[in-house]
Amino acid sequence: MLDMRNVRKVYRAGLVETEALSGATLKVNRGEFLAIMGPSGSGKTTFLSVAGLLDSFEEGDYWLDGENVRHLSDQRLSKLRNQKLGFIFQSFNLIPDLDVFDNIDVPLRYRGMPAAERDTRIEETLAKLGLVARMRHLPGQLSGGQQQRVAIARALVGRPQLLLADEPTGNLDSASARQIMDLLARINSEEGMTIIMVTHDHEFAARAHRKLHILDGKLIDPNSSTSGPG
């Protein structure tokens, strides 16, 4: 599903170089639930940006669903993001003046999907996530947990092959956070959705199939004596 080999990402500001990823190597199989932990500034967000095709990288190779993305055009990368990837962010990133239904509709409109098919997919996803009664509410009329469920619905409606979650419980109270984790675990177990989740929470990381740490741009498997998952 995802195969990164010796990926290096460097940020430059004038004469200063910061190595955000240092030879990151990782293989994630289809249907796996992977948690990545690490302190602030360790490279977690950069890793997700590269994995999500939102940022380029200087060295190494990255195969997504069998396709090496390193030298692809921006147009091809954009198409892969829209068709194969789903994103969940800590800050929800909902459009405030669109209701729940229309927020979920955005990626399908971008894909050029016919209206009837979009409506069917959105209604199915709303029902699955228990949001039917909220479909005409604006984000500001929802609790944090409900907003994150809308964000998950938006990520799932396009039927991605890989879901990337960046601190999905970070802005939630403990009860809402556990509900979101229950939902992610169910999506993974019942639908076989491949999930990579960045989190600070050890309790939630323990619910993944596998847990890695990232430090100074290096991926470290705590169950291995070498850096990287092998």
State yes or no: pLDDT of 225 exceeds 80. no
Closest by CA position to 61, among listed 10, 33, 34, 23 = 23
Q: Note the pLDDT of residue 116.
A: 96
Dihedral through CA 167, CA 203, CA 214, CA 168, nearest 10?
Answer: -10
Beta strand pairing status for 162-166 and 85-89?
A: parallel
Closest by CA position to 133, among listed 141, 92, 184 = 141
Distance (Å, rounded) from C-alpha 32 to C-alpha 211?
11
Q: Note the pLDDT of residue 15.
A: 86
Contact predicate 50/7, CB 8 Å: yes
Contact predicate 170/90, CB 8 Å: yes
pLDDT band at 224 (very low <50, low <70, confident <90, very high): low
Taking phi over 0 as left and psi of -120 to 50 as alpha, with beta for the rest, 60 belongs to: left
> In terms of CATH, what superfamily is 30-56+73-220?
P-loop containing nucleotide triphosphate hydrolases (3.40.50.300)
What confidence tens digit (pLDDT) does each residue in 82-136 have?
999 999 998 899 999 999 999 999 999 988 899 999 999 999 999 999 999 999 9
Domain ranges across the chain:
30-56+73-220
State yes or no: pLDDT of 223 exceeds 90. no
163 three-state secondary structure: strand
Distance (Å, rounded) from C-alpha 225 to C-alpha 230?
10
State yes or no: pLDDT of 226 exceeds 70. no
Q: Considering the entire predicted model, what is its pTM?
A: 0.90
